[in-house]
Chains A and B, each alone.
Chain A
Amino acid sequence: MSANNSEENLSGSQNRRITWDGCSVLLDINDGDRVLFARLTAGSKIKIGDKNCSLLPLIGCPFGSSFQVEVGAEGPFLAPLIPNAQGNGLSEKTDDQTMEECRDNRALVDNNTAQSLTGEDIDGMRRKGATGDEIVQALIANSATFEKKTAFSQEKYRIKKQKKYAPRVLLRRPFARSICEAYFKKHAEKIGFLRVDTLSLLPSLANVTAHSNVLVFDMLEGIVTGSVAERMGGTGYVCNPYCGTTPLPISIVRMFNFSDETCKRILSASLTELQPSDGENSTSGDQLVDECNIKEQQNKDTVSSSAKDLFNMEEISTTNMETDNNVAASPKCAKTVKAGEKAPSETIKHWKEHGFSSLIIAAPNLDAWDIAKDLVPLLSYSAPFVIYHQYLQPLATCMHNLQSNKMAINLQVSEPWLREYQVLPSRTHPHMQMSSSGGYLLSGTRISSSDQN
């Protein structure tokens, strides 16, 4: 029964629901205020506010569990948070909220005199072993204006104090969705301003599924490669083409916790290796080499800065992370397979013989047509492709050229639009801030340019 198979697959690292030593995790601090990646090892730590806590208590816990920063005898630490104990203080308040709210803020003056507890009082409480929640309660009790606030306002106040004095950490599994959102929020330029809804359209429009052979030109540090590999479940192949001699960096792929089987199917190959050797479809060899050298120089400039920035993004203050940069996902096992190895010649031969089943190009700072004219011919006929760009014009030009050269049909330039809502009783409305652009997509299907009868 296929359901039993899925249970077996669950024990594969991709679907594991409990953390393990060496796994990559996403830490969500204070309900999305701050999100960062970490690798769970005995020595790894996290800094929240001014407190440094060890991540050791998080190993062996289910994804989705929460922790709260507490201060103990040996310093700050992360204590497991049991959701039932917290209750949803909110649900107790729903009765208040459905009644008419008669309070308002006409008498409230914001002059910083309402709170009678001082910073020293709070430190004193901590030294006596008060929990974060107890401190929040004390702050509320000592606020002269708290009772005068509206119910909504009281809730906001309580949440604000809790975030400062009892910050919470939520342990999340890294998936394409969460990785993309974390990067888009903080370092959007590293992933070429690719928003999560745009990213979600790539594997759909390119029909990525098990047993596919997907050609992915990824200049976004590997986030597209990772999200494609995630949808193939250790079957098929993902090929990252490159010009010249150096594959592009795909460091984000390491965050996905991929199994060895998946990693060994993420390969790289040079354009000259992938193109037909008799040169019938390509431009002349010399011209190609010159173009490639230019691209390679651009790539080199981006490689070194991106490696350093990855550490900043991950914010780990342990040496383990620095040595990990050149080593595969799990530090324990020296034989672990690394994603992005050069493709063996039999695999390249297979791709040349059958063509790729789809193509994704994500090069938001390069000319789209320039890349498409070389890579679209490597696709099987009727194979879908999708090109992501942060600007509209290069895609419009590329679409026009594909049409006039009769290389593709079903061409479409589109722009996804995403809006998030706050849904609360009597307070439902779209978020006050939103992303105005997630980039543009050109999708189409390859056809043979020669007429057939």
Chain B
Amino acid sequence: MLPTDSTKTLSFNRCITEGDLVIVYERHDVMKAVQVSEKGVLQNRFGMFKHSDWIGKPFGSKIFSSKGGFVYLLAPTPELWTLVLSHRTQILYIADISFVVMYLEIVPGCVVLESGTGSGSLSTSLARAVAPHGHVYTFDFHEQRAASAREDFERIGLSSLVTVGVRDIQGEGFPDEFLGRADSVFLDLPQPWLAIPSAAKMLQQDGVLCSFSPCIEQVQRSCETLKSSFTDIRTFEILLHTYEVREGHLPSWQDGDGVLASLKGCKKRQRSTNGQENSRPQTVLARRMGETRGHTGYLTFARLNCIR
């Protein structure tokens, strides 16, 4: 997924080959991750697609099925991966992920500790941020989920950047081998205050911690615990509102047909009956989508106190 050197970057010259992971795009809310193989076949509502037709074509190509329907083959990115990965747990989405990566001040070369791994949604973006020489050490207490995450990272080519460990961070803290080595720590745990003292020992001076909790009571308890070794404690919530955009015509109130049609909720183009010009001015209209996510979790950030 991530270019390991400049020859692997997205390019007009780089084509799909056997073994590549592609994102099959049908619509913005219908996408699927597929591993390309010589004999592979994809079946969907548009028909049948042979993988062999894909090999040798550039990413971003439009591919037709046997029935004439089409899909697009996109190069995988952490954002697309978050939308297609299998949810073993509730995942973090792009608004929270982006804010976390910026607020934790993660740059290439950083060492980041994470717990719990969950479905690996955030881990993928963390890996992108620390590449090429940093590393993400992520822990989950659930052995099977840790194994699934490990498999996923293998599939998307991130195993050299992400190490998954099975460990109960709330009970045991982070392993001693990381003492004073972490640039940033991310916690997504039911009782993060139990892990905070250990996180404090792992962080480099001036390192940043983030704790993600759905409930305000968890946040209050975490902030209490953070006071002893941390400063600059801040709590946020972030959401991303999406807009629907369409082209339409808003008739004048003097246009009898137009007013009637709009009462019926008709969005089709108006055809005039009294000799006016047929093409009505179309405008681009935008408004927020109806029902939207109201809450994901609170993000609490804190900086390790500087002790001289």
Which residues of A are interface residues toward B (Cβ below 8 A)?
A: 2-3, 5-6, 9-10, 12, 14-15, 17, 62-66, 80, 82-84, 88, 90-91, 173, 175-177, 196-197, 199-201, 203-205, 207, 209-213, 227, 230-236, 353-355, 357-358, 380-384, 392-393, 395-397, 399-400, 409-421, 423-425, 428, 440, 445-448, 451-453
Contact = CB atoms under 8 A, between A and B. Distances in A.
B237 interface: yes
B2 A357 contact: no
Given A6-B135, A445-B74, A416 B245 contact: no
Interface in B256-308: 284-286, 288, 298, 300, 303-308
Given A205-B79, A420-B236, A411 B306 contact: no
B238 A416 contact: yes
Given A357-B9, A448-B61, A452-B62, A200 B102 contact: yes
Contacts of B141: none
The CB with the most chain A CB atoms within 10 A, among B99, B108, B111, B238, is that of B108
A79 B235 CA distance: 30
B6 interface: yes
B11 interface: yes
A209 B12 contact: no
A425 B12 CA distance: 57
B194 interface: no
Interface string B195-213: 0000000001110000000
7 contacts: A64-B305, A66-B306, A210-B2, A231-B108, A233-B107, A413-B243, A418-B237
Contacts of B304: 64
Contacts of B108: 9, 210, 231-235
B28 A412 contact: yes
Nearest to B130: A6
Interface of B: 2-6, 8-14, 25, 28, 57-64, 72-75, 77-79, 94-95, 97-99, 101-103, 105, 107-111, 125, 128-129, 131-135, 160-161, 181, 183, 204-206, 216, 219-220, 223-224, 227-228, 231, 233-243, 245, 247, 284-286, 288, 298, 300, 303-308
Contacts of A417: 238-241
Nearest to B300: A423
A383 B10 contact: yes
Nearest to B12: A355
A9 B245 contact: no
Nearest to A383: B10
A78 B305 CA distance: 19
B206 A64 contact: yes
Nearest to B304: A64
Given A207-B79, A416-B95, A423 B235 contact: yes
Contacts of B103: 177, 196, 200
Contacts of A234: 108
Contact of A384 (B3, B77, B128, B240): B77
A420 B73 CA distance: 39
Contacts of B5: 211
Given A64-B304, A204-B125, A17 B59 contact: no
A380 B11 contact: yes
A287 B14 CA distance: 33
A9 B133 contact: yes
Contact of A410 (B13, B28, B234, B235): B28
9 pairs of A and B residues whose beta carbons are closest in the complex: A233-B108, A381-B60, A382-B60, A64-B206, A200-B102, A9-B109, A354-B11, A382-B59, A64-B306
Given A6-B110, A205-B94, A413 B286 contact: yes
A353 B14 CA distance: 11
B54 to A, nearest CB: 11
Contact of B220 (A2, A62, A423): A423
A414 B109 contact: no
A353 B183 CA distance: 38
A211 B205 contact: no
B125 A409 contact: no
Contacts of A353: 11-13
Given A210-B3, A233-B132, A417-B241, A177 B13 contact: no
Contacts of B181: 3
Contacts of A2: 133-135, 160-161
B111 A409 contact: no
A381 B25 CA distance: 14
Given A210-B3, A414-B241, A423 B223 contact: yes
A414 B131 CA distance: 28
A353 B13 CA distance: 8
A354 B306 contact: no
Nearest to A397: B284
B72 A176 contact: no
Contacts of B129: 209, 231
A412 B80 CA distance: 13
B61 A381 contact: yes
Contact of B58 (A15, A207, A382): A382
B51 to A, nearest CB: 16
Contacts of A227: 102
A260 to B, nearest CB: 16
Contacts of A12: 109
B227 A380 contact: no
Q: Tell me which of A358, A410, A447, A452 has the highest count of chain B C-beta atoms within 10 A of its own C-beta.
A: A410
A233 B99 contact: no
A416 B99 CA distance: 10
B12 A354 contact: yes
Contacts of A418: 99, 236-238
A86 B307 CA distance: 12
Contacts of A453: 64
A40 to B, nearest CB: 16
Contacts of B243: 392, 396, 413-415, 440
Nearest to B58: A381
Contact of B228 (A9, A80, A91): A91
Nearest to B107: A230
A354 B7 CA distance: 10
Given A209-B128, A211-B9, A400-B247, A423 B219 contact: yes
Contacts of A201: 94-95, 98, 240
B11 A355 contact: yes
B278 to A, nearest CB: 19
A392 B95 CA distance: 19
B206 A382 contact: no
Nearest to B61: A452
Contact of B99 (A200, A381, A397): A200
A204 B240 CA distance: 14
A415 B241 contact: yes
Contact of A236 (B9, B216, B305): B9
Contacts of B223: 423-424
A260 B223 CA distance: 40
Given A211-B8, A357-B9, A414-B240, 11 more contacts: A3-B181, A12-B109, A14-B107, A84-B307, A212-B9, A354-B13, A413-B242, A416-B241, A419-B236, A424-B223, A428-B219
